[in-house]
């Protein structure tokens, strides 16, 4: 059965500040702890195609993962949709991001839908657990980094 995650965090910063930072894929290695690099492969309007490369993954014997995704941003609604073009161990991976002004700042929500290939190193349920854990770690790191940057801005 396909996997699905839905995680959110409130960042004590204005929505435009959070949106601008998170829409800048070149900046992701400075915001996420898991990415070592981002390479933009092309842009057309609000669509960007890019390669992400991770730092070594301790849960998978230090393996480095890399893939190409395409992301379509909608600045008017503070939302984006991404899909892996190079799927790696996934049959498919789709991510929807949304940003909403709430008491205390900006809620950043990520919803992921995916299915693992039969030969992948994890099944759908295991991958869902991993993605939920890692998403929460990444969201907390981003929250800390953006809140610190917002104070300095």
Contact 2, 90 (CB under 8 A): no
What is the domain partition of the chain in residue ranges? 3-24+70-152
Q: What is the pLDDT of residue 75?
A: 97
pTM of the predicted structure, to 2 decimals: 0.94
pLDDT exceeds 90 at position 60: no
Give the alpha-carbon dihedral of 51, 1, 126, 145, to 10 degrees. Answer: 50
Q: 102: which 2 tokens? A: 């709430």
Give the architecture-level CATH label for domain 3-24+70-152.
2-Layer Sandwich (3.30)
pLDDT tens string 13-42: 999 999 999 999 999 999 999 999 999 999
Average pLDDT value for residue range 51-66? 91
């Amino acid at each position: 059965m396909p996997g699905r995650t839905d995680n959110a965090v409130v960042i004590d910063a204005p929505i435009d500040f959070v949106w601008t930072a998170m829409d800048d894929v070149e900046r992701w290695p400075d915001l996420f702890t898991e990415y070592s690099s981002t390479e933009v492969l092309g842009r057309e309007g609000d669509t960007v195609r890019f390669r992400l490369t991770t730092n070594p993954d301790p849960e998978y014997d230090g393996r480095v993962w890399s893939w190409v995704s395409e992301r379509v941003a909608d600045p008017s609604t503070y939302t984006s949709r991404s899909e892996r073009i190079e799927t790696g161990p996934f049959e498919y991976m789709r991510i929807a991001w949304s940003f909403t002004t709430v008491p205390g700042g900006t809620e950043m929500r990520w919803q992921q839908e995916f299915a693992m290939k039969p030969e992948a190193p994890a099944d759908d349920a295991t991958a869902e657990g991993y993605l939920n854990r890692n998403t929460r770690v990444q969201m907390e790191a981003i929250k800390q980094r953006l809140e610190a940057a917002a104070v300095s801005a």
